[in-house]
Amino acid sequence: MAARTLTFSIFRHDPQGGGQPVMQDYQLEETPGMTVFIALNRLREEQDPSLQFDFVCRAGICGSCAMVINGKPTLACRTLTARFDPPHITLLPLPGFELIGDLSVNTGKFMRALSERLAAWLHPQDGAVDLHAVEASMDPDLADRLYEAERCVECGCCIAGCATAQMRDSFVGAVGFNKVARFALDSRDSRSLDDFYHVIGSEDGVFGCMSLLGCQDNCPKGIDHAGQIAYLRRKLAFSRKVWRLFPA
CATH number at residue 177: 1.10.1060.10
**Does residue 234 share a domain with residue 121?**
yes
Sign (positive or negative) of CA dihedral 60, 64, 65, 69: positive
Domain-located, residue 247:
no
**Does residue 151 share a domain with residue 71?**
no
Q: Answer whether 111's CB lies under 8 Å from 28's CB.
A: no
Helices (H) and strands (E) counted in the chain, each on its own, are 10, 7
Q: Is the peptide bond before 220 cis (omega within 30 degrees of 0)?
A: no
**Does residue 117 share a domain with residue 95?**
no
High-pLDDT (> 90) share of the chain, %: 73
Instruction: Write out the H or E segment, with its range, that includes residue 137.
Output: none
Which of 69-78, 135-144, 202-211 has the lowest average pLDDT? Answer: 135-144
**Does residue 231 share a domain with residue 114?**
yes
How many Cβ atoms sit within 10 Å of the Cβ of residue 80? 13
**Does residue 193 share a domain with residue 162?**
yes
Q: Answer whether 46's CB lies under 8 Å from 70's CB.
A: no
How many domains does one find in the chain?
Answer: 2
Phi, psi of 83, rounded to the nearest 5 degrees: -75, -15
Domain-located, residue 62:
yes
CA distances from residue 138 to 50, 60, 231, 246 in whole angstroms, order as listed: 50, 29, 20, 36
CATH number at residue 17: 3.10.20.30
**Does residue 141 share a domain with residue 92?**
no
Phi, psi of 34, rounded to the nearest 5 degrees: -70, 135
pLDDT band at 127 (very low <50, low <70, confident <90, very high): low
pLDDT band at 246 (very low <50, low <70, confident <90, very high): very low
User: Please, what is the Cα angle at 55 between 52 and 57, to 5 degrees?
Assistant: 170
Q: Answer whether 232's CB lies under 8 Å from 206's CB.
A: yes
**Does residue 157 share a domain with residue 88?**
no
Sign (positive or negative) of CA dihedral 3, 7, 219, 49: positive
**Does residue 29 share a domain with residue 76?**
yes
Domain-located, residue 248:
no
Higher pLDDT residue, 206 or 126? 206
**Does residue 77 share a domain with residue 49?**
yes
* Mean pLDDT computed over 125-150: 84
High-pLDDT (> 70) share of the chain, %: 95
Domain-located, residue 181:
yes
Comparing C-alpha atoms, which of 37, 22, 25 is closest to residue 74? 37
Instruction: Write out the H or E segment, with its range, that includes residue 165.
Output: helix 163-167
**Does residue 165 share a domain with residue 93?**
no
**Does residue 74 share a domain with residue 194?**
no
Domain-located, residue 47:
yes
CA distance 122 to 184: 10
Q: Which residues span the domain enclosing 24?
A: 3-102
**Does residue 120 share a domain with residue 226?**
yes
Q: Is 114 helix (H, G, I), strand (E, B) or coil?
A: helix
Q: What is the pTM of this model?
A: 0.89
pLDDT in tens, 69-121: 999 999 999 999 999 999 999 999 999 999 999 999 999 999 999 999 999 99
